[in-house]
Amino acid sequence: MADRGLDCYIIPASDPHQSEYIPACWQFRSWISGFTGSAGTIVVTADKAGLWTDSRYFLQAEKQLKGSGIELMKLKIPHTPEHVTWITTSLPSNATVGIDDRFFSIGMVQYIRDILEESGQHLVTEADILGQVWIDRPEMPSNPVFEHDLKFAGVTRKDKLSSVIGMMKEIKADYHLITTLDDIAWLLNLRSSDISFCPVFISYCLVSLDQTHLFINPDKISGTIAASLANDRVVIHPYESISGYLENLTAGYTIFYAPEKVNHALIQSIPAGVKQKHGMNITTGLKAIKNPIEIEGLKRVMMKDGAAWVKTIHWIKKQLASGKQVSEWSAAGKIAEFRSANPGYQGESFHPISSFGWHGAVVHYSVTEEESLDFKTEGIYLLDSGGHYSDGTTDTTRTITLSTPDSQQKTDFTLALKGTLGVSMLRFPKGTKGFQMDIMARKALWDNGLNYGHGTGHGVGFWLSVHEGPQTIGTSASGYLNISLEPGMVTTVEPGLYREGFHGVRTENMTLVVEDMENEFGTFYRFETLTLVPIDRHLIDKDLLTREETDWINHYHQRVYNCLADLLTPEETSWLKEATQPL
Amino acid sequence: MADRGLDCYIIPASDPHQSEYIPACWQFRSWISGFTGSAGTIVVTADKAGLWTDSRYFLQAEKQLKGSGIELMKLKIPHTPEHVTWITTSLPSNATVGIDDRFFSIGMVQYIRDILEESGQHLVTEADILGQVWIDRPEMPSNPVFEHDLKFAGVTRKDKLSSVIGMMKEIKADYHLITTLDDIAWLLNLRSSDISFCPVFISYCLVSLDQTHLFINPDKISGTIAASLANDRVVIHPYESISGYLENLTAGYTIFYAPEKVNHALIQSIPAGVKQKHGMNITTGLKAIKNPIEIEGLKRVMMKDGAAWVKTIHWIKKQLASGKQVSEWSAAGKIAEFRSANPGYQGESFHPISSFGWHGAVVHYSVTEEESLDFKTEGIYLLDSGGHYSDGTTDTTRTITLSTPDSQQKTDFTLALKGTLGVSMLRFPKGTKGFQMDIMARKALWDNGLNYGHGTGHGVGFWLSVHEGPQTIGTSASGYLNISLEPGMVTTVEPGLYREGFHGVRTENMTLVVEDMENEFGTFYRFETLTLVPIDRHLIDKDLLTREETDWINHYHQRVYNCLADLLTPEETSWLKEATQPL
């Protein structure tokens, strides 16, 4: 920092592709601090270093930062850049602040620069310091790329490229720069294993009107795939050559990209004469609408994944009944084991939240072998877990009682469940957005002076990111405001309730938007629930349900039984029969 | 146009203050076309002229444009600038388009310029053509300004100015430019009658840290008011001198204003060295939270205004029962007459929607003596009407059956009423926005494949604009996204249902946000319904209501009776007694 004339250096937890899960080679923040939480930024000055993170990570950060000399700075509002405000108030007004702008979106750089300049401070954006001091830094992952079979993808790479190019012509763009890894994997019908829980490969993609440029380590591409790509007019370039390629774009052309996704460094390569247009990645909009083959695959996946769930719950109950130990860790392992027996299984779609008792109230609790609690019979158990399959991805949460629940547990569970039902049973007109319907998940809780602090639902990728935009169901309308829920979109519905120190409850299903009816008042849609896992009847207080809600659950359980019975052992089937009896 | 080298000229329906109701002197669009609808833009080229308006006004526009040579261009999506797209596709790519930028916000000018320049067309922003050709143009209104009495305003002008200046310091602004007339009237505790239905005066206001500059025709200000203003450090300048004053601002200072409200011409006067900051007018946020004196006034107003409603409904029923004629026009006149007997009455707060039978389905139907329908006994009557009083403003809609309603009328009325109740009965956490709760007004309709095409609620000014921001309840999250409903805010709740050619139903109340409870899950608010007018029991299908909804109505009716009985004649009281019986 002194060599570079920097008074301050910001180290974020991000990569050049704005990935949710970050490959080891770019985990600068974890490397320098030991802190492994998903959210948190470090600021280093000549005599001080601090980590800004939110309340989910206070305990973990205190433990992991011990002895590092880095101070825990508690964020008042999660996901806000309070560290930038700290810099403006703690450093002199002529201070120079450094970042490595490959790890910041162009929107974020502008935001930081504005705040600093308001205080007379100065931002240096090309400060690659950590790359030089991190000696034993892991290599960039170079796992092989493989084809996502058309029988699961449903649409060829060629047709996807045609759709993108058609939309580029509509918005008068000559190039579409795509830097988000799931968008590239979706577009090219390719998968790999560069990142945990997300079957993508590190690359950039530049679609032009006559060919597509894929910037990737060429060693990852087999001859067969290279030939197939060439046949679809996809040209391979070395990963690092993207900047040079952009530098040589001809003036007068227009390049289109998503400013909240593209890193600042990359954009500096674009010559001044090239016109830049901003908007959501075209691929993001297209991939959100699952095609009929994908929907068919997903429905198949829900049966085998549901069976793994039933086997797991049955196993837990049986173990405990026979006096054997079950822990958060072993239960999470067990569902992965059952899933792995399913055809097409490709691994977990995220790190499971397997939480017993008071751990259930730690909303983003991430189970580890060390912290794993053993089950006791008086508690309730919350499992949020999902799998990737070649024919689709799942994300399900169930809350399970291990004995007779008390009335508080039943009330809490049922009120949150009414939220899951409130969204699932909704009929809504074309054009309805997620922020409009979020309240249906919270109404029963609000009526009772309760609430939860996370979103209600997120899109789910198809053997891609388990959190996939653009649609969400939540209280916030930030992001792309005109994203409405359209037929073919897959979204989770996952209201919950958390009592610190006691328990957490949540029922999460994946749903598909389908057409419902059309009349002179417009076109109406509804949700079809995809997930097929029984909801614990013992936790339901039927007195809190309306007739329609009870009917919905009974009908749902009937469907769960019919879909799963054939995939289970006789013992499991008879357990499921009992578990899906009408309320 | 030829003299100025213009191929095209755009004539909007707006004034330099972005007013909802436009004074006659700025009604260029109505003058040139004869079209009087509130929304609609004219584009003139050398050989063609068109009026772009939305479906509400198609019939009216066809009638009023007849013989004008101006073609009706039907907007596909209301409130969108489809005329600008038409210009880019209909005129040559080097065409020059003129506007008078005093009538466009700076945001709108930028928007138009971007679209035109994309097509190679050119925008000239200072084309004041109509002012020269409109010979008998009315003078700018110069009605006297009078004080809004402190006993109704609740907070002195001096204290309001202190609050604004305090917030200017927080955001480091040296000047706050305010151009919206209701903001200025609120800030200075002054009223006038320059604009129909809105007691404001044409002016600009520039607040600095040590004094406030009011740009206004000085003839409007009496010596007494001038002295009082001077005492509060408010300096009066001629209205036209605002540009010159802005031109002389010292470089280095910061001016703050709302870019969607300030006209483009004005901003051109600001020297380059003055820093411009954008955001919502500080006054807009402050005036939205009604103070305790205002709330007290409003509650008093609701009683006298409710009495006028009861007298009107009773009068209609009595007239019809005795075989006398009642029309949309006479009923609207009658409520104004009853209101005018109330202390503090200052006039109607908007042009009433007084619509019988099929007219009720014409959502923005504006009654005129010519179009007024006579009442028949088999129909239902919708009246949306409000009054200004020194102690507050009202806006109420009731739907009244004139005989025994049919089951379709009852179902429609009750489903829409459930929407009014759905919002009114809501408990919601601090931070909840209007777009989150809109669905509560629509859920019962959506369940039945029905919907309505207007917003659910709007803020209401205090003896100011009946439509007052920033808060709204609606499907859209555009505008200021972080506006949540806070205690002291007054908002209408007005879901409806409209069957073209048959009838329209709507129940509109004004509500006040109040604190409800606080616990470890946060602070919760609820609505207190302010409006006190009976809801027609004959139109309610009790089978469609939940127990809680029925209780709410019965409790409400009890309150209406208790509050209004003393203000009525014995005959009216006994009618109200009957009308407020429990369901």
Pairing of strands A427-429, B496-499: unpaired
DSSP 8-state symbol, A105: B
Give the DSSP H/E element, type plus range, for residue B456: none
Tell me if B517 and A426 make a contact (CB, 8 A cut-off).
no
Q: Is B34 exposed, middle or buried (0-12, 13-18, 19+ CB in 10 A)?
A: middle
- Can you tell me the distance from the alpha carbon of B59 to that of B65, in angstroms, rounded to the nearest whole number? 10
Of the residues A436, A452, A472, A524, the best mutation for testing chain B's interface (the one with the most B CB atoms within 10 Å of its CB) is: A436
A500 contact residues in B (CB cutoff 8 A): 520
Could you tell me which of A312, A309, A395 has the C-alpha nearest to residue A352?
A: A395
Query: What pLDDT is recorded for position B538?
Result: 97
Query: What pLDDT is recorded for position A377?
Result: 82
Nearest residue of B to residue A118, measured between CA atoms: B172
Of the residues B256, B277, B435, the best mutation for testing chain A's interface (the one with the most A CB atoms within 10 Å of its CB) is: B435
- Can you tell me the distance from the alpha carbon of B517 to that of A55, in angstroms, rounded to the nearest whole number? 24
Pairing of strands B175-178, B71-74: unpaired
pLDDT over threshold 90, residue B109: yes
**Residue B573's pLDDT band (boundaries 50, 70, 90)?**
very high
The shortest C-alpha distance from A457 to chain B (Å) reads 15
Tell me if B427 and A437 make a contact (CB, 8 A cut-off).
no
B429 contact residues in A (CB cutoff 8 A): 446, 451
B500 contact residues in A (CB cutoff 8 A): 520
Tell me if A436 and B431 make a contact (CB, 8 A cut-off).
no
The shortest C-alpha distance from A525 to chain B (Å) reads 10
**Residue B498's pLDDT band (boundaries 50, 70, 90)?**
very high
Tell me if B440 and A436 make a contact (CB, 8 A cut-off).
no
- Can you tell me the distance from the alpha carbon of A357 to that of A382, in angstroms, rounded to the nearest whole number? 8
| Sign of the alpha-carbon torsion through A414, A420, A423, A424 | negative
Query: What pLDDT is recorded for position B29?
Result: 96
Contact between A213 and A235 (Cβ < 8 Å): yes
- Can you tell me the distance from the alpha carbon of A184 to that of A165, in angstroms, rounded to the nearest whole number? 14
Of the residues A475, A523, A526, the best mutation for testing chain B's interface (the one with the most B CB atoms within 10 Å of its CB) is: A475
A447 contact residues in B (CB cutoff 8 A): 427
Tell me if A436 and B475 make a contact (CB, 8 A cut-off).
yes
Q: Which positions in chain A have a beta carbon within 8 angstroms of at least one beta carbon in chain B?
A: 118, 172, 426-429, 431-433, 435-440, 443, 446-447, 449-451, 475, 477-478, 481, 500, 517, 519-522, 524
Peptide bond into B470 cis (omega under 30): yes
Tell me if A427 and B449 make a contact (CB, 8 A cut-off).
yes
Could you tell me which of A282, A14, A266 has the C-alpha nearest to residue A130?
A: A14
- Can you tell me the distance from the alpha carbon of A52 to that of A525, in angstroms, rounded to the nearest whole number? 42
Of the residues B89, B115, B443, the best mutation for testing chain A's interface (the one with the most A CB atoms within 10 Å of its CB) is: B443
A426 contact residues in B (CB cutoff 8 A): 443, 446
B439 contact residues in A (CB cutoff 8 A): 428, 436-437, 439-440
Tell me if A428 and B435 make a contact (CB, 8 A cut-off).
no
| Per-residue model confidence as pLDDT tens digits over B19-33 | 999 999 999 999 999
- Can you tell me the distance from the alpha carbon of B68 to that of B49, in angstroms, rounded to the nearest whole number? 9
Extract the tokens encoding B285: 């946020």
The shortest C-alpha distance from B432 to chain A (Å) reads 8
Contact between A277 and A256 (Cβ < 8 Å): yes
Nearest residue of A to residue B444, measured between CA atoms: A427
Query: What pLDDT is recorded for position B60?
Result: 87
Percent of the residues in chain B that have a pLDDT greater than 90, as a whole number = 92
Query: What pLDDT is recorded for position B377?
Result: 82
Nearest residue of A to residue B477, measured between CA atoms: A477
The shortest C-alpha distance from B407 to chain A (Å) reads 19
Extract the tokens encoding A149: 């079979």
pLDDT over threshold 90, residue B38: no
The shortest C-alpha distance from B114 to chain A (Å) reads 12
Contact between B361 and B353 (Cβ < 8 Å): no
Tell me if B429 and A451 make a contact (CB, 8 A cut-off).
yes
Q: Which positions in chain B have a beta carbon within 8 angstroms of at least one beta carbon in chain A?
A: 118, 172, 426-429, 431-433, 435-440, 443, 446-447, 449-451, 475, 477-478, 481, 500, 517, 519-522, 524
ipTM passes above 0.85 = yes
A451 contact residues in B (CB cutoff 8 A): 429, 521-522
Which residue in the set A446, A475, A524 is minimally distant from B524, CB to CB?
A446
B440 contact residues in A (CB cutoff 8 A): 439, 443
| Per-residue model confidence as pLDDT tens digits over B298-334 | 999 999 999 999 999 999 999 999 999 999 999 999 9
Extract the tokens encoding A563: 């879909």
Extract the tokens encoding B250: 């010292």
Which residue in the set A433, A451, A519 is minimally distant from B449, CB to CB?
A519
Of A29-38, B476-485, B536-545, the range with the highest mean pLDDT is B536-545
Span B127-140, average pLDDT: 91
Residue in this structure with the two tokens 């109704």, named with its chain if needed: B152
Peptide bond into A470 cis (omega under 30): yes
Residue in this structure with the two tokens 């007054």, named with its chain if needed: B490
The length of chain B is 583
| Per-residue model confidence as pLDDT tens digits over B440-459 | 999 999 999 999 999 999 99
Ordered DSSP codes for A224-263 = HHHHHHHHTTEEEE-GGGHHHHHHTPPTT-EEEE-TTTSB
DSSP 8-state symbol, B261: T
pLDDT averaged over chain B?
96
Query: What pLDDT is recorded for position B478?
Result: 82
The shortest C-alpha distance from A520 to chain B (Å) reads 9
Query: What pLDDT is recorded for position B349?
Result: 98
Contact between B545 and B410 (Cβ < 8 Å): no
Query: What pLDDT is recorded for position B234?
Result: 98
Name residues whose C-beta falls within 8 Å of residue B373's C-beta, 6 or more positions apart in sequence: B327, B328, B355, B356, B357, B359
Most distant CA pair in chain B, distance: 74
Pairing of strands B8-11, B96-98: parallel
Residue B574 three-state SS: helix
Could you tell me which of A20, A477, A384, A102 has the C-alpha nearest to residue A266?
A: A102
| Sign of the alpha-carbon torsion through B308, B313, B315, B316 | positive
Contacts 24+ apart (CB under 8 A), B443-447: B443/A426, B443/A440, B443/B418, B443/B419, B444/B415, B444/B416, B444/B418, B444/B419, B444/B544, B445/B415, B445/B416, B445/B419, B445/B495, B445/B497, B446/A426, B446/A427, B446/A428, B446/A429, B446/A524, B447/A427
Pairing of strands A387-389, A392-393: antiparallel
Tell me if A429 and B451 make a contact (CB, 8 A cut-off).
yes
* Separation in Å, CA B227 to CA B147, B233, B234, B236: 12, 10, 9, 10
- Can you tell me the distance from the alpha carbon of B71 to that of B93, in angstroms, rounded to the nearest whole number? 23
Query: What pLDDT is recorded for position A56?
Result: 81
Pairing of strands B490-493, B509-519: antiparallel
Query: What pLDDT is recorded for position A79?
Result: 77
Most distant CA pair in chain A, distance: 74
Which residue in the set A118, A431, A451 is minimally distant from B522, CB to CB?
A451
Tell me if B477 and A435 make a contact (CB, 8 A cut-off).
yes
Span B163-176, average pLDDT: 97
Which residue in the set B172, B439, B449 is minimally distant from A440, CB to CB?
B439
Tell me if B427 and A439 make a contact (CB, 8 A cut-off).
no
A427 contact residues in B (CB cutoff 8 A): 446-447, 449
Average pLDDT for runs of 10 along chain A of length 583: 95 95 94 92 96 89 94 86 93 95 94 92 93 92 96 98 98 97 98 96 98 98 98 98 98 96 96 96 98 98 98 97 96 98 98 95 85 91 98 98 94 98 98 97 98 95 96 90 94 97 96 98 97 98 98 98 98 98 98
Give the DSSP H/E element, type plus range, for residue B124: strand B122-124
Tell me if B440 and A439 make a contact (CB, 8 A cut-off).
yes
Tell me if B446 and A426 make a contact (CB, 8 A cut-off).
yes
Contact between A581 and A556 (Cβ < 8 Å): no
